Amino acid sequence: MNILDRYHAMEYGPAPEARNEADAWLAARDFGRALFIGGDWKAASGGKTFETSEPSSGKLLANVSDANAVDIDAAVAAATKALPKWSAASGYQRAKVLYAIGRAMQRHQRLFAVLETIDNGKPIRESRDIDVPLAIRHFIHHAGWAQALDRDFAGHKGVGVVGQIIPWNFPLLMLAWKIAPALAAGCTVVLKPAEFTPLTAILFAEICERAGVPKGVVNIVQGGPEAGVAIVNHPGIQKIAFTGSSEVGKIIRKATAGSGKKLSLELGGKSAFIVFEDADLDSAVEGLVDGIWFNQGQVCCAGSRLLVQEGIADALIAKVKTRMSRLRVGSPLDKNTDIGPLVDLTQLDRVKGLVAEGARQGAVCWQPDAALPSSGYYHLPTLATGVSPANILAQEEVFGPVLATMTFRNTEEAIELANNTRYGLAASVWSENVNLALHVAPQLKAGVVWVNGTNMFDAACGFGGYRESGFGREGGREGMFAYLTAKLPLGPVIKPATTSAQPVEQPDGDTIDRTAKLFIGGKQVRPDGNYSLAIATAKGKLAGEVGLGSRKDIRDAVSAARGAKAWPEATAYNRSQVLYYLAENLSGRAGEFAARLTELTGATPKAAREEVEQSIERLFLYAGLADKFEGRVHQPPARAVTLALHEPVGVVGIVAPDSSPLLGLISLVAPALAMGNTVVAVPSERYPLLATDLYQVIEYSDIPSGAINIVTGRSAELAGVLAKHDDVDGLWVFADAETCAKAEAESIGNLKRVWSGNGRSLDWASDEAAGDAFLRRAVEVKNVWVPYGD
């Protein structure tokens, strides 16, 4: 036998990771007292426990305290008590605590890794080399943010008590993603781990004790749905941070509507893995292994849809099958294992069911010829070919080791297929032509795009999605903003509109009736229902009539906004010029608008003129910032740079208030336009003639058709229509509290980003009601990872 024969005949020997330290920790712990509340270990008040088992064998690991609403009350009370002192601590004091947590985790990182693998089932190589080091990195990185808070986030402070709910696929890493920025911001925490994987959170609580975390700053409550519901609904919590399924995310969005709670959701995904014909196929195959079979495919950003250019499809699929046949399925504690068990029998049954349904719908499902362990929740890696875009394997998040494959002919088709999903979390682009890759990346509806790589993460770089993958970011500067708040200058409480009940007198003398139309797609159009709304002057006389917009008018306006490609594709400098021109043209008619303000609102001529001048000034501000509110370049500890690009949210619906009707409308519309969004605006219900008077100014200010659309009518009704419309990507509502709450609740269809005044207007004339705070709401931050070097 020659050396080559010997090489091919070699087999892997077992290389198990020792688990004796983890078993000793398990044996010594009283899991019946596993609630960490106010710095003390407590049993659940109801005495209930739940089981956590080892996925590789199904054997019981522990019976863990199962918290109920009473326990959540106690945890929130402890966090509330600790909040004043923790938030008042200096950034340096908080930084020392965060650093101490990171260093203590480093000293126990092997125990963390083994416990994570035992409890979750992921291969030890992933726990040891990825999850635990990244978790440590987050605490040490955010120690720096804690000390730099006053410098880098001037005018901001921690949001308060934060409720956090994390999933079972990355138990320790998700804990770090949530707790580290919260502590850096000066918040206190009530965190609920997943029932399937409570162990590393319990060990982390022990680390908090050793690291000197003040009592009540971190509270960790094990439990099931009852505990989760209690956290979401608790009035003492100011922010909810949730990672999990899109279905549960929608429930949380609806439950928190109208509460004023800040919300960030990191939800499901159906990420595209795009391979162009000039890609390095061997590298792409290795990236694909990491993209879909990492953590058994139980990854929200898993590259579960392989889109491959037709000319190389056969060659790439052959290489993928060869590589799949060499993946080792087995004990997750074996250092040679590539694929461990799924987390639980219910997850295994779900994956099997989806694969069977995908095959029934026409997919050809191939698996390597390999034996599965005799016990545990294992599933072979699966390749589905012949998958149609509508197949369940192409549309639903399987959350298992299943890859759906489709082909494309050209770049445009690749982008269209990639975006053919209700999700928008991540994507990978493979091409040796970096120009092509960076041409495609901004066109993908995904919060993270990896070029010639996949599953790259770092604490300095934001992570999060678009669409039904949620909103908000974790990590980086934008991740810190998720735990901070800046007090905007509040205006009056907004009362429900009563225009329909206002008596309107006919004006004296002969007049020619003129009903202002709607402004849709660059044209003045009659409302679909052919109804109008009488608008009174401050003296109760008829000032004019406006069209009474309806659901169909909103539909037409959204369609026009969606089709207005020229505006988001324009350069920031071009948008800046147009906004300057709009301000210039409004200035030319300042006297006319001031007179209209006085007529409608009763404002003095001086006050009316000031509002018009402030409106012009606000347009100038956002014109000047259009090409200055830019993204960043991050340098993570890897051979890559991360481009944090500012992208427009998309179609933004705006419901403007009655207070300062011209300035309020412009203060909302201008930042949205400056960042490249297209707008469907519902102006003040009581004073809409100020908006209809803008039509002519807009028409001769070079704003492309459809970039701004104005639909007059009942604010509450139209806000609800915008909230339900799945082609609206963002919604800003300044209306009465009931309308705001309803808009938030009804936005769950596509989980659009909603900014609501919660029944309060703003002091639109103040400097704080302008600038970066508004621009941040007008952009999505997309992180594009670009590797370099050989």
Give the residue numbers annotated as catalytic, written as ranges.
266, 300
Tokens matching residue 64? 């863990």
> Could you give the CA distance from residue 118 to residue 123 in angstroms, rounded to a whole number?
9
CA dihedral 250, 253, 256, 258 (to 10 degrees): -130
Helix 246-256 to helix 737-745 angle, to the nearest 10 degrees? 170
DSSP 778: T
Which of 429, 431, 416 has the alpha carbon at shortest distance from 456?
Answer: 429
Find where tokens 């001031």 sit.
594
Q: Which residues contact 294 (CB under 8 A, 6 or more apart)?
A: 126, 302, 455
Parallel/antiparallel/unpaired status of strands 426-430 and 272-275: parallel
Q: Which stretches does DSSP call E strand in 373-517? A: 382-385, 402-408, 426-430, 448-451, 470-471, 484-485, 490-493, 515-516
SS (H, E, C) 604-628: CHHHHHHHHHHHHHHHHHHHHHCCC
For residue 525, give the H/E element and its range: strand 523-525
Distance CA 352, CA 104 (A): 41
Check residue 127 and report its DSSP letter. I
CB-neighbour burial class of residue 530 (10 A; exposed 0-12, middle 13-18, buried 19+): exposed
- Which tokens hold the place of 67? 């918290």
Residue 581 token pair: 């021109």
Residue type, 34: A
760-762 and 542-547 strand pairing: unpaired
Q: Which residue has the tokens 């500067």?
A: 477
DSSP state of 128: I
| Pairwise CA distance, residues 504 & 543, whole Å | 9
Closest CA to 181 of 220, 209, 142, 227: 142
Q: DSSP letter for 459, please.
A: T
d(CA 24, CA 9): 39
**Displacement of CA 771 from its chain's centroid (Å):** 22
- Tell the burial category of 490 from Cβ atoms under 10 Å away from its Cβ (0-12, 13-18, 19+): middle
